[in-house]
Amino acid sequence: DAGITQSPRYKITETGRQVTLMCHQTWSHSYMFWYRQDLGHGLRLIYYSAAADITDKGEVPDGYVVSRSKTENFPLTLESATRSQTSVYFCASSEAPGSAQHFGDGTRLSIL
Amino acid sequence: GENVEQHPSTLSVQEGDSAVIKCTYSDSASNYFPWYKQELGKRPQLIIDIRSNVGEKKDQRIAVTLNKTAKHFSLHITETQPEDSAVYFCAASQVRNKIDMRFGAGTRLTVQP
């Protein structure tokens, strides 16, 4: 679905660096989500947002920061990257809680 | 929090056979159960979902059943085709004072032609 785009698609950085992953959706969905996907764990929710300026923690929020100043954007920041944050990150959006979530193409992040 | 277990982790079937993937969840407050298909290197895509007030839902070759009492739900794919080969994820979601969405670890389905 072209309605939700993530950038960059691939990123390599070093431990201790700050890195921001971008997510943009054109559907005007109220809800946006960030997940990380690791082998053996499926997808785990990091943070979500119910609307502009409203965010809340998911299952694995430590080490991550989010913001939502505009409805269409939901950036995810790793303030001081660690190797354990190497993962594939997916952004998703939905019209309402407990409704179908539409995923972006993901960002593969490697932290050396 | 919610805990979702998914079985089997891998499943191989012959083309034309049926495939069944099962998930159990722990939180009786969960009320929305989606299933996602993810091909290698691609995004997860919703294939079917069910809410807690429904026991079964069908969409062509795909069906999902929900047993709220036993806290388990299953994905059934009939007349499997090679293009059904992918990783399938179940999830359970509930919204109380916040959203709690938990995914199973995934099932790698291989359909042998």
Show which of residues 65-94 on chain A sit within 8 Å of chain B, judged by CB atoms.
90
CA dist., res. A30 & res. B70, Å (int): 33
DSSP-based three-state secondary structure for B82: helix
pLDDT band at A2 (very low <50, low <70, confident <90, very high): low
B contact test, residue of A32, A101, A102 with most B CBs within 10 A: A101
Contacts (Cβ under 8 Å, ≥6 apart) of B16: B79, B80
Q: In degrees rounded to 5, what are phi and psi of residue A29?
A: -65, 140
Q: What is the mean pLDDT of chain B?
A: 94
Residue B31 CB-density burial (10 A; 0-12 exposed, 13-18 middle, 19+ buried): middle
CA dist., res. A51 & res. A98, Å (int): 15
Q: Is the pLDDT reported for residue A1 higher than 70?
A: no
Cα of B22 to nearest chain A Cα, Å: 15
Tell if the CB–CB gap between A97 and B44 is shorter than 8 Å: no
Cα of B13 to nearest chain A Cα, Å: 22
Q: Is the pLDDT reported for residue B53 higher than 90?
A: no
Among A75-79, A96-100, B29-33, name the one with the lowest average pLDDT.
A96-100
Q: What is the mean pLDDT of chain A?
A: 94
Average pLDDT over residues B41-46: 95
**Cβ-Cβ contacts under 8 Å, A97 against chain B:** 93, 95, 99
The token pair at A68 is 């939502």
Show which of residues 2-61 on chain B sit within 8 Å of chain A, judged by CB atoms.
6, 31-32, 34, 42-46, 49, 51
Cα of B47 to nearest chain A Cα, Å: 10
Residue percentage of chain A with pLDDT more than 70: 98
CA dist., res. A90 & res. A44, Å (int): 10
Q: Please give the angle made by the CA atoms of B15, B78 and B2, to the nearest 5 degrees.
A: 115
Q: Is the pLDDT reported for residue B95 higher than 80?
A: no
> In this structure, how many other beta carbons lie within 10 angstroms of the beta carbon of residue B97?
6
Per DSSP bridges, beta strands A19-25 and A76-78 are antiparallel
